[in-house]
Structure 1
Amino acid sequence: MCWGFLYGCVQAVFYFNTWQFYSSLIFLIVLCCYFKPILNLLLAFIFAIFVVTIHFSLFYSYQFENTIDNGPAEITAKVAKVISNPPNSLSLIEIHELDGKSVPFYQTVHAQLSKDDDQYIFETGDLLVLKVKLRKFRSRMNRHSFDVEKYAFRNKLHFKGKVIEVIKHEKSSLELRQSYKQELVKVFENKNLGWLYYGLSTGDKSKVLAETKNQVIQLGIGHILAISGMHVGIVFLLCFSLAKIIVWFLLKIKANITLQGLNLNYFYCAFSLFIAFIYIYLCEFPVSALRAWFMAAIYSLIYFLHKKVSLPQTLTYTLSAILLIDPFSILDPGLFLSFVGFTTVVLVLKWTASNRLLSNSFLRLCLIQLSLMITLAPLSLMYFQGVSIAGLVVNLVLIPLLSFVIFPYLIACILLAGLFPNTDFLYVDDLLFFAFQYVTQNYLDVAWLAGPQLPSILVVLIYFCIAMLFSSFLRRFLLIPTITLASYFLVPRPLWQVDFFDVGHGTSVLVTSDKQAFLYDLGAKYFNYYSLFERVVLPEIKARDLNLKYTIISHPDKDHAGGIDELKQFDNFGSLAIFHNQQPFSFCQLKSISLGNVSIETIWPIDDMQSDNNNSCVVKLQGKGGSVLLTGDVEIDAEQRLVHEYDELLHSDILLVPHHGSKTSSSSSFLEAVKPTYGIVSRNYYSAWSLPHSEVIDRYASRQIKLIDTALSGQITIEFYQDGYHIKRLREENLFWLKHHTGF
């Protein structure tokens, strides 16, 4: 039954309303007709679909009036979190009432609101009545960037918008979790490693700087940034020991107390489970911690009932319980990292227990770390594009430190904060900070082995093969996933590829062939720090292990050249040498070069047209399978000159729609000369200029040119093969539930 439920959850969450989902259901129904034992599997599969659907309807979906897009709305809300303070004030608020309609008690509806007025400073827990301009939450979608919309789905973030007027602002008493976090901020704010202590105590990573986070991941100790199973295990064991000490102390001072005949292990386990549950409650139930708690509870129950349950059964029961509570927790990477890590540790301990050569505790710990590095490597490559080599050594030191030094230190700091504020007991903080600085300054360069990002299907196949090796029954079928895994590498790869990134109002296009890359424009940069080159383009380059050989900046507009500082930091303008002579805002030089299987030819500007837009660098890409014309922001004047100079040579299969679809571009004569099959529009979903313009849309439609829009399709990938090309739209790959959560 549990296997059917788990399989149903996977199919319903990841493949609902796809051919994979329906074929799985039909396959089980057909099997059920011939093998009656399959009936239980089918019933559990159907029950999983019911659980997923009910969870989505009750807790993740919120029906609201579409009038929010037409004008201001009035909301009653509570501040859930202050993301940033003035001058760029941004808050996460929990909506209780929207335009007079109350949010059901069982639902959580969040909105991310910006505020220009500094008259009111919001704090966590404040009660508000606001007039706001709300929009359904929508973000950019790129293959190797952080999936903001999946994050919004998991955190029930339905809207984003702007505060127009503060009608009412009241201070309110904080909830238990918020009070707990606020007090711990005061306890650890003056500590060198305050971000670590606060994170371990609350599960909140907001105090960790991005640079520090990367350092921790590269050292292979990223698990300290989240409340993992190890932390819950440490808390459980500490509480178990504390309970035994309390009982021993009571027996010493009360000699007349007799506990003979009582199994005190019941009390020890119940006390430990209760405190561990309080701990993960205060940390907002991270999925890896929930896994550990259920494991501890199941093992305790098994122990007291004198039952024998195998490791696969325990894992199955635990995972089923977690997915029954929230089936969408399967979207959390921590779930997979936690289960794979735990399974590895248990299997190694079981294997070494009967091996005298490996009975030494230190050798077993070394073997566990080596095994974890190997078994977690596919997941590490998928999520972080690399594997930590240093983690093998660092964790040998860190795990005992967490158990016997750091957690007791945290408890001492919290319990004695009132008597000894800002006290560094035994100089633990100073010593740990010195050690952390020493390791990051001297060994960080050799700590991380970078690699390409593995696709999820490949990771699943790898773990299937590993799992089947440990089952004598399944081992005979090992050839099936092995052949599937081998066939993955035999699938024809494109000769060259063009990616039009979803960068909102702006442009960034990456051309690749044979691991070499050419970049056309950098996208925008917001608030002088949020660079789309850094957030979108660089992750793509690193995930695919590409070498950026050439870069062209079409013209100096901020939506095309916003990431110039980050490009300099990345390659010191080395990729600008060929077309810009390392001068980023100079006209691109007219020349033709090859990049693997594609030729890159710059054909414009021929001379200065006294306009940044009309001086945009125009590039023709030509290779086997098709051609692409990249146009920047050229307008009608430049288009006419291009037609006069090149005419039929402009003909291309794919056209980057000039100037994001503005009516001052895409002239009839230009479209007649290019004769594209597809036009790619790079623009923002909520466009202030209502792009693409209706007249432009009509011009393309009248010529049967199909428009593909990054705002609607996300990142657009065009793969060129020997005899043609294939277009991929990233949003089409999005999960059914994410599409319906945002309403798009």
Structure 2
Amino acid sequence: MDRFFSHLKQPFTSIWLCSGFVLGCFITVYTLNTAAFYIMSFAVILASLYFKPFLSVLSGFICGIFIVIFHYLIFYSASLCQIVIDKPIDAHLQIISIHSVASPYYAKVRLINVQGCSLPRFIAPLAMLSITTEKQLDVGSLLTSQVKLKAFRTVKNFDSFNRERFAFTERIIYKGRTVGKTHHLSSTSSAAIRSHYQSYISDITAGTKLQWMYYALLTGDRSKISSVDKTHLRELGLSHLLAISGLHIGLIFTLGFYTSKWVFMCTQVAIKQSMQLSKLFVVFGFCCAFLYVYLSDFVVSATRALVMLGCYLIIYLLAKNPLQWRSILFALSVVLVMNPFSLLNPGFYFSFTAVAIIFLVINQPLTIKNGLIKHSVQLFMIQGALFVGLLPLSLYFFDGVSVIGLLVNLIAVPLISLVVMPLLVMYSLLSMIVDTSYVFKLFDAVFYSSFEFIISTPHDWRWVDVRINGFKSLLYLYCTLLIGLFSPFKRFSIIPSFIFIIDWLLTPKPLFQLDLFDVGHGLMAMVSTNNKAIVYDLGPQYFARYDYVNSVLVANIRQQNLEVVATIISHQDNDHAGGLTSWKQAGYTATFEKFHPSGIKLPCLSQHFKFENLNITSLTADSNHDNNNDRSCILKISNPQHSVLLTGDISKFIEQQLVSQEVDLNATILISPHHGSNTSSSGLFIDAVNPEIVLHSSAYQGQWSFPHSDVVKRYNDRDIPQYTTAEYGHIRIKFYPQSYRLEFAREQESYWFE
């Protein structure tokens, strides 16, 4: 360690080593087993042969590769215990978090013992379980039960939240449910301490109007925040204030530092002149910050901030000067040693970029002598720089930006930092010895009035949906910012924009596009051209409350900047119309008029019309049929080169009827009737359609096992390629004048570890 930090005066070796390590981690996580990985590795090796400093970079680069692979093998792919999938097994569980308020509980658990095989806490896999129990379930509870597990897998779509990747970053390897009786055991001492602390904070803040905010600030647990309040915070750019991060850790450290200093000055203890009191105060402040993170159960963002603080303090104490930029690099290296897959977490990039921006601003000299004015100007500069510097990340990860966020943060950050957090800490400590709730409720009333004033901001001033497509766009934006702000050749900042425009102009534009979304057992599709779209079916609804309309369909519409001109409900079954309520709430009720002028409960209108450069034909083969499936709306989209046929859930009877009526069924792409059920896809119908490709919208390992093996065989006998959403996820087909291209979410949106 001393040898490592001996380079702080002439820091090139440690800097090169850490730089190579970070590069190795980044390249391995994102590009392992691809051409880019081997090209970059060869480039680093080649550079090290010609430039001596690059030997340290190469060493760090190799260490980065090793750490990523080691971490994956230990924590993700390998297990000390053989866990049987899809069969009841005995398990000893610890509750990590609870996501429902009543039995059956949906909870994140740690598998600490499986079939008598104990797993160390730090490598025990996590699982999302449905737990049936009569007793109250609490965070930290220990349970024994038989469980049925399977690998964590969910739907995968373009331009929407990647649940599988999020689960991977959280080390959630399995999902399943308990079977049989669940036995409750006592909680671990560590979990019990945190549970008692959370109960204590909940009790002393009970009855206040902003309890959810105080509870989140003091415990790191955001479960009490309602979806409405989460939306308010996101649109106002305040979400970061309730996620324990650098701001909160820094505040607790500062409070601990100055409290210890004040106590020492008040006690007037005699000390030796050689003692360095500042080190004692720093250690006490860090201990306070560590306790705060411990009580928050080492939330990822809090742990990352604590590591950054620790690195900064160690370097400061050893080198006798701040060394801000090196502390960021060393903290980055330590975080990646702890978990190189932190690179997949958006918060990772926001945290380190924000700290770099703050260091950059506070190092800018100010000639203002008045302390208050100087600090106010510096605060404004920091907030402005954070707004501009984090803007590309916000657009990339969240598809928008808070317009009023800059102004709101200028008020909220000092308010939280200088007033709310110190008062909350003081109140939580004083409440142990004296009742001060009446004073706190007075403070709550004042603070709530301020919060109400802020959220009364008109919606149009809060959030603007602006999105950038792909990592390349993000890279172009940051290159433009860096060259324009810090390069002596500021005129060259136009080069990234020029490259971006050339790239966009050279990219071929499709005539139209088909999106078949991955919604499990159900159907949701969209055809788009010239920024306008027709939606066919809205997928299933689960547990009478959850569907994929907002998280998948609306997300894709916004990402592609589309205007929906019409919506079709093929028939009323839940797996096709389950998202109807959410679709209406999203503001798309008027889009039913084109195909359902008499109401969506009636079959669609049979018609033929022109939609931009496409021909649209819709019909219902038998609107009086008793079978709801056979009343499905049939839709054909075509241009002179290509065509797509969507048939809902029609049976062989309707297929034969369509063929006998000599309906033009020929299509380039067929979305199989009834998800590939054996009640459909007759040989006669397949021959009439004569598709080049067949798509099946079905669930992975679903209870119906679609597509049926006989159906698959019928298409295979005719040498027709088949693709299922169960295997490939969201399927996107782009049609060009003489060709078409298929894109699969599970291929393009996945890395080597997924």
Residue pair 1:609, 1:615 contacting (<8 A) in 2 also: yes
Aligned CA distance change for structure 1 residues 606 and 340 (closer, same or farther; 3 Å)? same
Which residue pairs with 1:378 in the alignment? 392
**Cα pair 2:514 2:734 within 8 Å, conserved:** yes
Per the alignment, residue 532 of structure 1 pairs with 548
Q: Which residue of 2 aligns with 1:670?
A: 685
Distance 1:247 1:733, change over 3 A: same
Q: Secondary structure at the match of 1:369?
A: helix
Q: Which moved more, 1:280-289 or 1:619-628?
A: 280-289
Change beyond 3 A, Cα 1:423–1:334: farther
TM-aligned CA deviation for residue 424 of structure 1: 4.7
Which amino acid is 1:150 matched to?
A: R
The 8 Å contact of residues 564 and 591 in structure 2, kept in 1 or not, is answered as yes
The aligned residue for residue 140 of structure 2 is 125
- 362, 374, 384: which one pairs with 1:349? 362
Q: Which has the larger displacement, 24-33 or 415-424?
A: 415-424
Partner of 2:20: 4
- Tell me whether 1:334 sits opposite 2:350 in the alignment: no
How far apart are the structure 2 equivalents of 1:321 and 1:714? 36
2:546 corresponds to which letter in structure 1? Answer: Y
Q: Deviations over 1:180-218 (max 9, x none)?
A: 333323333432111111111222222211221111011
Of the candidates 609, 613, 621, which is equivalent to residue 597 of structure 1? Answer: 613
In structure 2, relative to structure 1, the CA distance for the partners of 1:355 and 1:721 (3 Å cut) is farther
Q: Which residue of 2 aligns with 1:157?
A: 172
Of residues 605-614 and 226-235 in structure 1, the stretch that sits farther from structure 2 once superposed is 605-614
Residue in structure 2 matching 1:397, options 404, 411, 417 = 411
Residue in 2 that maps onto 1:45:
61
* Matches of 2:635 and 2:611, distance apart in 1: 14
Cross-structure match for 2:280 = 267
- Name the SS of the counterpart of 2:586 in structure 1: helix
SS in structure 2 of the partner of residue 166 of structure 1: strand
CA distance in 2: counterparts of 1:626 and 1:363, whole angstroms: 61
1:219 corresponds to which letter in structure 2? L
The number of residue pairs the alignment matches comes to 733
Inter-partner Cα distance in structure 2 for 1:243 and 1:66:
51
Structure 1 letter corresponding to 2:164: E
Which letter does structure 1 place at the counterpart of 2:273?
Answer: Q
Structure 2 matches for 1:162-177, cutoff 5 A?
162-166=177-181, 168-174=183-189, 175=191, 176-177=193-194
Shift of 1:317: 1.9
| Residues 127-526 of structure 1 mapped to structure 2, 5 A cutoff | 127-166=142-181, 168-174=183-189, 175=191, 176-251=193-268, 257-306=270-319, 311-353=324-366, 360-418=374-432, 419-420=434-435, 422-425=437-440, 427-469=442-484, 472=487, 481=496, 484-490=499-505, 491-526=507-542
CA 1:286–1:460: 2 relative to 1, 3 Å: farther
RMSD across aligned C-alpha pairs, in angstroms? 2.6
CA distance in 2, matches of 1:55, 1:699: 45
Counterpart in the other structure of 1:742: none
How far apart, CA to CA, are the structure 2 residues paired with 1:347 and 1:639? 68
Residue 540 of structure 1, CA deviation: 1.8
In the alignment, what sits opposite 2:660?
Answer: 644
Structure 1 residue 723 corresponds to structure 2 residue 738: yes
Deviation at 1:142, TM superposition (A): 1.6
Q: Distance in 2 between matches of 1:322 and 1:67?
A: 30
Could you tell me how far apart the structure 2 residues matched to 1:104 and 1:242 are? 38
SS in 2 for 1:683: coil
- Contact 2:256–2:288 (CA under 8 A) maintained in structure 1: yes
CA distance change for structure 1 residues 608 and 469 in 2, over 3 Å: closer, same or farther?
same
Q: CA deviation at 1:65?
A: 8.3
Give the superposition deviation at 1:380: 1.1
Kindly indicate whether the alpha-carbon contact (under 8 Å) linking 2:468 and 2:474 is maintained by their aligned counterparts in 1.
Answer: no
- Alpha-carbon distance in 2 for matches of 1:357, 1:696: 80
Please tell me the residue identity of whatever aligns with 2:716. A
Per-residue Cα deviation, 1:595-640 (whole angstroms, up to 9, x for no partner) = 4333322133354333211111111111365221111111101111
Name which of structure 1's ranges 172-181 and 375-384 shifts more when overlaid on structure 2: 172-181
Pick one of 696, 709, 730 that aligns with 2:724. Answer: 709
Instruction: Report the Cα distance in structure 1 between the residues aligned to 2:66 and 2:564, rounded to whole angstroms.
Output: 48
* CA shift in 2, pair 1:360/1:333, >3 Å: same
Distance in 1, matches of 2:81 and 2:715, equals 34
Moved more, 207-216 or 104-113: 104-113
| Distance in 2 of aligned mates of 1:701 and 1:357 | 81
Q: How far, CA to CA, are the matches of 2:428 and 2:701 in structure 1? A: 47
Q: For the residues of structure 1 that align with 2:444 and 2:126, how far apart are their CA atoms?
A: 37
Q: 1:79 to 1:314 in 2, by over 3 A?
A: closer
> 481-490 vs 585-594, which deviates more?
481-490
SS in 1 for 2:157: coil
Shift of 1:302: 4.2
The answer to which of 415-424 and 653-662 deviates more is 415-424
Deviation, structure 1 residue 399: 1.3
Query: Residue 532 and residue 291 in structure 1: after superposition, are their counterparts in 2 closer, same or farther (change >3 A)?
Result: closer
Q: Call closer, same or farther: CA 1:663–1:41 in 2, change over 3 Å.
A: same
- Percent identity at matched positions? 33
Partner secondary structure for residue 519 of structure 1: strand
Distance (whole Å) between structure 1 residues aligned to residue 350 and residue 484 of structure 2: 20
How far has the Cα of 1:645 moved from its partner?
2.6
- Please list the CA deviations of residues 678-717 of structure 1 after superposition, one character each: whole Å capped at 9, or x if unmatched: 1111111131111111101101111111111111111111
SS at match of 1:84: coil
2:121 corresponds to 1:108: no
1-structure distance, mates of 2:379, 2:706: 60
1:536-590 deviations in Å (ceiling 9; x for gaps): 2122222333222110000000110011111222225100011001612211111
Amino acid aligned to 2:646: L
2:694 to 649, 656, 679: 679
How many Å separate the matches in 1 of 2:529 and 2:346? 31
CA distance in 2 between partners of 1:470 and 1:452 (Å): 23
Deviation at 1:83, TM superposition (A): 2.1
Partner of residue 76, structure 2 = 60
Distance in 2 (alpha carbons) for counterparts of 1:151 and 1:628: 34
Identify which range, 628-637 or 16-25, moves more after superposition: 16-25
**Paired residues of 1:389 and 1:447 also in contact (CA < 8 A):** yes
Q: Is the 8 A contact 2:540 2:547 kept in 1?
A: yes
CA contact (8 A) 1:381 1:454 kept: no
Residue aligning to 1:658: 673
1:21 aligns with 2:37: yes
> Retained in 2: the 8 A contact 1:650–1:673?
yes
DSSP 3-state at the match of 1:370: helix
Structure 2 stretches lacking a partner, 5+ long: 1-16
- Partner-residue secondary structure (3-state), 1:578: coil
Give the TM-score of the pair, scaled to structure 1: 0.92
Give the deviation of 1:479 after TM superposition.
7.7
Find the residue that maps to 1:51 and give its secondary structure: helix
2-structure distance, mates of 1:184, 1:602: 60
Offset of residue 101 of structure 1 = 3.2
CA distance in 2 between counterparts of 1:662 and 1:211 reads: 41
Kindly tell me: are residues 67 and 11 of structure 1, through their superposed partners in 2, closer, same or farther at Cα, counting changes over 3 Å?
Answer: closer
User: Are the structure 2 counterparts of residues 403 and 33 from structure 1 closer, same or farther at C-alpha, using a change threshold of 3 Å?
Assistant: closer
Q: Alpha-carbon deviation of 1:232? A: 1.4
* Cα offsets for 1:103-141 (capped at 9, x unmatched): 34541222222245x534433333322122222211111
**Conserved 8 A contact 1:624-1:720:** no
Instruction: Decide which of 550, 573, 578 is 2:594's aligned counterpart.
Output: 578
Give, in whole Å, the separation in 1 of the partners of 2:687 and 2:305: 64
How far apart, CA to CA, are the structure 2 residues paired with 1:357 and 1:479? 39
User: Take 2:667 and 2:81, find their aligned partners in 1: how far apart are those partners?
Assistant: 44
1:329 is aligned with what amino acid?
S
Instruction: Return 5+ residue gaps in structure 1 as ranges.
Output: 740-744
Give the superposition deviation at 1:468: 4.3
What TM-score does the superposition give when structure 2 sets the normalisation length? 0.91
